[in-house]
A = this chain, B = another copy of it.
Amino acid sequence: MPQTAKILIVEDDAHIRRLLHATMQRAGYDVVEAAAARQALSLLDIERPDVVLLDLGLPDRDGLELIEPIRLRSAATLIVVTARDESAEKVAALDLGADDYVTKPFDTEELLARIRTALRHQRAIAAGELVTVVEAGDVHIDMDRRRVTRDGSEVHLTPKEYGVLVELAKRPDRVLSHAQLLRTVWGPAHVERVEYLRIVVRGLRQKLEKDPARPRLIVNELAVGYRLLLREAG
Protein backbone atom coordinates (compact mmCIF):
# COMPACT_ATOMS: atom_id res chain seq x y z
CA MET A 1 0.00 0.00 0.00
CA PRO A 2 1.41 3.39 -1.02
CA GLN A 3 1.72 6.32 1.32
CA THR A 4 -1.58 7.89 0.35
CA ALA A 5 -4.41 5.46 0.01
CA LYS A 6 -6.37 5.32 -3.22
CA ILE A 7 -10.15 5.24 -3.36
CA LEU A 8 -12.32 4.14 -6.25
CA ILE A 9 -15.78 5.70 -6.30
CA VAL A 10 -18.42 3.81 -8.25
CA GLU A 11 -21.47 6.03 -8.56
CA ASP A 12 -23.77 6.81 -11.45
CA ASP A 13 -25.17 10.09 -10.15
CA ALA A 14 -22.72 12.75 -11.33
CA HIS A 15 -23.65 15.14 -8.57
CA ILE A 16 -22.99 12.73 -5.72
CA ARG A 17 -19.90 11.48 -7.51
CA ARG A 18 -18.39 14.94 -7.56
CA LEU A 19 -19.36 15.50 -3.96
CA LEU A 20 -17.70 12.29 -2.83
CA HIS A 21 -14.67 13.01 -4.98
CA ALA A 22 -14.18 16.40 -3.37
CA THR A 23 -14.69 15.04 0.13
CA MET A 24 -12.18 12.26 -0.32
CA GLN A 25 -9.60 14.52 -1.89
CA ARG A 26 -9.95 17.00 0.94
CA ALA A 27 -9.34 14.11 3.33
CA GLY A 28 -6.05 13.44 1.56
CA TYR A 29 -6.85 10.40 -0.54
CA ASP A 30 -6.12 9.71 -4.18
CA VAL A 31 -9.42 9.39 -5.97
CA VAL A 32 -10.50 7.53 -9.09
CA GLU A 33 -14.09 7.47 -10.23
CA ALA A 34 -16.28 5.25 -12.34
CA ALA A 35 -19.85 5.85 -13.50
CA ALA A 36 -20.59 2.34 -14.74
CA ALA A 37 -19.86 -1.28 -14.02
CA ARG A 38 -17.47 -2.00 -16.90
CA GLN A 39 -15.44 1.08 -16.20
CA ALA A 40 -15.28 0.18 -12.53
CA LEU A 41 -13.90 -3.27 -13.21
CA SER A 42 -11.21 -2.09 -15.59
CA LEU A 43 -10.16 0.70 -13.26
CA LEU A 44 -9.87 -1.89 -10.54
CA ASP A 45 -7.12 -3.64 -12.49
CA ILE A 46 -5.37 -0.50 -13.63
CA GLU A 47 -5.46 1.64 -10.52
CA ARG A 48 -5.45 -1.00 -7.78
CA PRO A 49 -7.37 1.07 -5.23
CA ASP A 50 -7.23 0.32 -1.50
CA VAL A 51 -10.88 1.10 -0.93
CA VAL A 52 -13.88 0.85 -3.23
CA LEU A 53 -16.96 2.96 -2.51
CA LEU A 54 -19.84 1.31 -4.33
CA ASP A 55 -23.18 3.05 -4.61
CA LEU A 56 -25.92 0.51 -5.16
CA GLY A 57 -28.02 3.18 -6.77
CA LEU A 58 -31.70 2.73 -6.91
CA PRO A 59 -34.21 0.26 -7.94
CA ASP A 60 -32.38 -2.60 -9.65
CA ARG A 61 -30.02 -5.13 -8.19
CA ASP A 62 -27.25 -4.17 -10.62
CA GLY A 63 -25.15 -2.76 -7.85
CA LEU A 64 -25.36 -5.91 -5.79
CA GLU A 65 -24.25 -7.94 -8.75
CA LEU A 66 -21.09 -5.90 -8.97
CA ILE A 67 -19.94 -6.94 -5.52
CA GLU A 68 -18.79 -10.41 -6.41
CA PRO A 69 -16.70 -9.52 -9.48
CA ILE A 70 -15.03 -6.75 -7.52
CA ARG A 71 -14.30 -9.11 -4.67
CA LEU A 72 -12.83 -11.70 -7.02
CA ARG A 73 -10.63 -9.18 -8.73
CA SER A 74 -9.31 -7.15 -5.87
CA ALA A 75 -8.38 -7.27 -2.22
CA ALA A 76 -9.62 -3.73 -1.70
CA THR A 77 -11.97 -3.00 1.15
CA LEU A 78 -15.44 -2.76 -0.34
CA ILE A 79 -17.82 -0.29 1.26
CA VAL A 80 -21.38 -0.26 -0.03
CA VAL A 81 -23.44 2.91 -0.04
CA THR A 82 -27.18 2.65 -0.49
CA ALA A 83 -30.34 4.67 -0.10
CA ARG A 84 -32.37 1.73 1.10
CA ASP A 85 -32.04 1.08 4.78
CA GLU A 86 -33.28 -2.49 4.93
CA SER A 87 -31.63 -5.26 6.82
CA ALA A 88 -32.36 -7.70 4.02
CA GLU A 89 -30.26 -5.70 1.59
CA LYS A 90 -27.53 -5.21 4.12
CA VAL A 91 -27.34 -8.94 4.72
CA ALA A 92 -27.28 -9.57 0.98
CA ALA A 93 -24.45 -7.11 0.45
CA LEU A 94 -22.32 -8.49 3.27
CA ASP A 95 -23.00 -12.06 2.14
CA LEU A 96 -21.85 -11.25 -1.36
CA GLY A 97 -18.57 -10.02 0.02
CA ALA A 98 -18.94 -6.36 0.98
CA ASP A 99 -16.92 -5.32 4.00
CA ASP A 100 -19.10 -2.52 5.24
CA TYR A 101 -22.47 -0.93 4.62
CA VAL A 102 -23.49 2.73 4.87
CA THR A 103 -26.96 4.12 4.22
CA LYS A 104 -27.83 7.42 2.57
CA PRO A 105 -28.23 10.14 3.49
CA PHE A 106 -24.84 9.40 4.96
CA ASP A 107 -22.85 11.52 7.23
CA THR A 108 -19.59 12.44 5.51
CA GLU A 109 -17.67 12.20 8.74
CA GLU A 110 -19.03 8.76 9.44
CA LEU A 111 -18.06 7.59 5.99
CA LEU A 112 -14.53 8.90 6.49
CA ALA A 113 -14.35 7.16 9.86
CA ARG A 114 -15.29 3.87 8.26
CA ILE A 115 -12.65 4.32 5.59
CA ARG A 116 -10.04 5.06 8.24
CA THR A 117 -11.01 1.91 10.12
CA ALA A 118 -10.74 -0.14 6.94
CA LEU A 119 -7.31 1.27 6.09
CA ARG A 120 -6.07 0.71 9.64
CA HIS A 121 -7.15 -2.89 9.36
CA GLN A 122 -5.38 -3.29 6.01
CA ARG A 123 -2.18 -1.82 7.40
CA ALA A 124 -2.29 -4.19 10.37
CA ILE A 125 -2.51 -7.13 8.02
CA ALA A 126 0.23 -5.80 5.77
CA ALA A 127 2.51 -5.25 8.75
CA GLY A 128 1.99 -8.84 9.81
CA GLU A 129 0.57 -7.71 13.10
CA LEU A 130 -2.17 -10.19 12.68
CA VAL A 131 -2.75 -12.63 15.48
CA THR A 132 -1.83 -16.10 14.31
CA VAL A 133 -2.31 -17.93 17.58
CA VAL A 134 -5.69 -18.05 19.23
CA GLU A 135 -6.58 -19.60 22.58
CA ALA A 136 -10.21 -20.53 22.99
CA GLY A 137 -10.85 -22.35 26.22
CA ASP A 138 -8.55 -25.37 26.23
CA VAL A 139 -8.23 -25.27 22.45
CA HIS A 140 -5.09 -23.82 20.93
CA ILE A 141 -5.09 -22.71 17.30
CA ASP A 142 -1.76 -21.94 15.63
CA MET A 143 -2.47 -20.60 12.17
CA ASP A 144 1.23 -20.27 11.34
CA ARG A 145 1.99 -23.93 11.86
CA ARG A 146 -1.47 -25.09 10.81
CA ARG A 147 -1.77 -26.91 14.11
CA VAL A 148 -4.69 -27.29 16.48
CA THR A 149 -4.24 -28.80 19.91
CA ARG A 150 -6.66 -29.53 22.70
CA ASP A 151 -5.34 -29.93 26.23
CA GLY A 152 -1.91 -30.07 24.67
CA SER A 153 -2.51 -33.00 22.37
CA GLU A 154 -2.86 -32.45 18.66
CA VAL A 155 -6.25 -32.70 17.02
CA HIS A 156 -6.48 -33.85 13.44
CA LEU A 157 -8.78 -31.69 11.31
CA THR A 158 -9.90 -32.18 7.74
CA PRO A 159 -9.11 -29.36 5.29
CA LYS A 160 -12.66 -27.97 5.38
CA GLU A 161 -12.79 -28.21 9.15
CA TYR A 162 -9.52 -26.37 9.44
CA GLY A 163 -10.64 -23.74 6.94
CA VAL A 164 -13.82 -22.97 8.83
CA LEU A 165 -12.03 -22.90 12.17
CA VAL A 166 -9.40 -20.49 10.87
CA GLU A 167 -12.01 -18.12 9.48
CA LEU A 168 -13.72 -18.10 12.85
CA ALA A 169 -10.43 -17.71 14.69
CA LYS A 170 -9.36 -14.75 12.55
CA ARG A 171 -12.33 -12.82 13.91
CA PRO A 172 -12.93 -14.34 17.31
CA ASP A 173 -16.01 -13.32 19.25
CA ARG A 174 -17.62 -12.01 16.10
CA VAL A 175 -20.45 -13.57 14.17
CA LEU A 176 -19.61 -14.78 10.70
CA SER A 177 -22.57 -15.40 8.46
CA HIS A 178 -23.13 -18.74 6.80
CA ALA A 179 -22.47 -17.10 3.46
CA GLN A 180 -19.21 -15.54 4.57
CA LEU A 181 -17.85 -18.86 5.77
CA LEU A 182 -19.10 -20.72 2.73
CA ARG A 183 -17.67 -18.16 0.35
CA THR A 184 -14.18 -18.17 1.82
CA VAL A 185 -13.90 -21.90 2.50
CA TRP A 186 -15.92 -23.45 -0.34
CA GLY A 187 -15.96 -20.58 -2.84
CA PRO A 188 -18.60 -18.16 -4.12
CA ALA A 189 -20.48 -20.89 -5.98
CA HIS A 190 -21.50 -22.64 -2.77
CA VAL A 191 -22.79 -19.78 -0.62
CA GLU A 192 -26.21 -21.40 -0.51
CA ARG A 193 -25.15 -24.81 0.73
CA VAL A 194 -25.64 -24.24 4.42
CA GLU A 195 -25.76 -28.01 4.91
CA TYR A 196 -22.07 -28.39 4.07
CA LEU A 197 -21.19 -25.85 6.68
CA ARG A 198 -23.33 -27.50 9.31
CA ILE A 199 -21.73 -30.89 8.75
CA VAL A 200 -18.27 -29.43 9.09
CA VAL A 201 -19.27 -27.56 12.23
CA ARG A 202 -20.57 -30.81 13.63
CA GLY A 203 -17.17 -32.39 13.01
CA LEU A 204 -15.37 -29.50 14.68
CA ARG A 205 -17.61 -29.68 17.70
CA GLN A 206 -17.10 -33.41 18.11
CA LYS A 207 -13.36 -32.93 18.01
CA LEU A 208 -13.07 -29.76 20.05
CA GLU A 209 -16.02 -29.43 22.40
CA LYS A 210 -16.20 -31.08 25.79
CA ASP A 211 -19.88 -31.71 25.29
CA PRO A 212 -20.57 -31.57 21.56
CA ALA A 213 -24.29 -31.48 22.24
CA ARG A 214 -23.89 -28.24 24.22
CA PRO A 215 -21.42 -26.17 22.25
CA ARG A 216 -19.50 -23.54 24.18
CA LEU A 217 -16.76 -22.92 21.66
CA ILE A 218 -18.44 -22.68 18.30
CA VAL A 219 -21.86 -21.27 19.01
CA ASN A 220 -24.71 -20.60 16.63
CA GLU A 221 -26.54 -17.31 16.19
CA LEU A 222 -29.99 -18.12 14.98
CA ALA A 223 -30.49 -17.28 11.34
CA VAL A 224 -27.17 -15.44 11.24
CA GLY A 225 -24.15 -17.67 11.50
CA TYR A 226 -21.48 -18.95 13.83
CA ARG A 227 -19.13 -17.42 16.35
CA LEU A 228 -15.98 -18.66 18.08
CA LEU A 229 -16.07 -17.86 21.78
CA LEU A 230 -12.73 -17.19 23.41
CA ARG A 231 -13.54 -17.33 27.06
CA GLU A 232 -16.07 -19.94 27.97
CA ALA A 233 -18.63 -17.67 29.50
CA GLY A 234 -22.00 -18.75 30.75
User: Distance (Å) between the CB of A34 and the closest chain B CB?
Assistant: 22
Q: Is A192 an interface residue (CB 8 A)?
A: no
Known A-B contacts A107-B75, A109-B125; A144 and B184 likewise in contact (beta carbons under 8 Å) = no
CA distance A187 to B84 in the complex (A): 10
User: Distance (Å) between the CB of A87 and the closest chain B CB?
Assistant: 6
User: Distance (Å) between the CB of A1 and the closest chain B CB?
Assistant: 10
User: Distance (Å) between the CB of A5 and the closest chain B CB?
Assistant: 15
User: Distance (Å) between the CB of A91 and the closest chain B CB?
Assistant: 10
Q: Is A154 an interface residue (CB 8 A)?
A: yes
Q: Is A210 an interface residue (CB 8 A)?
A: no
Known A-B contacts A145-B174, A173-B145, A222-B158; A128 and B105 likewise in contact (beta carbons under 8 Å) = no
CA distance A109 to B50 in the complex (A): 14
Q: Which of the residues B107, B173, B224 comes within 8 Å of A125, measured between beta carbons?
A: B107
The reply to whether B128 and A146 contact each other, CB–CB distance below 8 Å, is: no
The reply to whether A114 and B86 contact each other, CB–CB distance below 8 Å, is: no
Q: Which of the residues B128, B174, B185 comes within 8 Å of A109, measured between beta carbons?
A: B128
The reply to whether A87 and B174 contact each other, CB–CB distance below 8 Å, is: no
Q: Is A126 an interface residue (CB 8 A)?
A: yes
In the complex, the count of this chain's copies comes to 2
Q: Is A175 an interface residue (CB 8 A)?
A: yes
User: Distance (Å) between the CB of A204 and the closest chain B CB?
Assistant: 16
Q: Is A213 an interface residue (CB 8 A)?
A: no
Q: Is A85 an interface residue (CB 8 A)?
A: yes
The reply to whether B86 and A97 contact each other, CB–CB distance below 8 Å, is: no
The reply to whether B130 and A146 contact each other, CB–CB distance below 8 Å, is: no
The reply to whether B71 and A105 contact each other, CB–CB distance below 8 Å, is: yes
Q: Is A223 an interface residue (CB 8 A)?
A: yes
The reply to whether B108 and A75 contact each other, CB–CB distance below 8 Å, is: yes
Q: Is A215 an interface residue (CB 8 A)?
A: no
Q: Which residues of B contact A88 (CB under 8 A)?
A: 187
Q: Which residues of B contact A85 (CB under 8 A)?
A: 183-184
Closest B residue to A183 by CB, please name it: B86
Question: Which 4 A/B pairs are nearest by Cβ-Cβ distance?
Answer: A113-B130, A109-B125, A146-B175, A85-B184
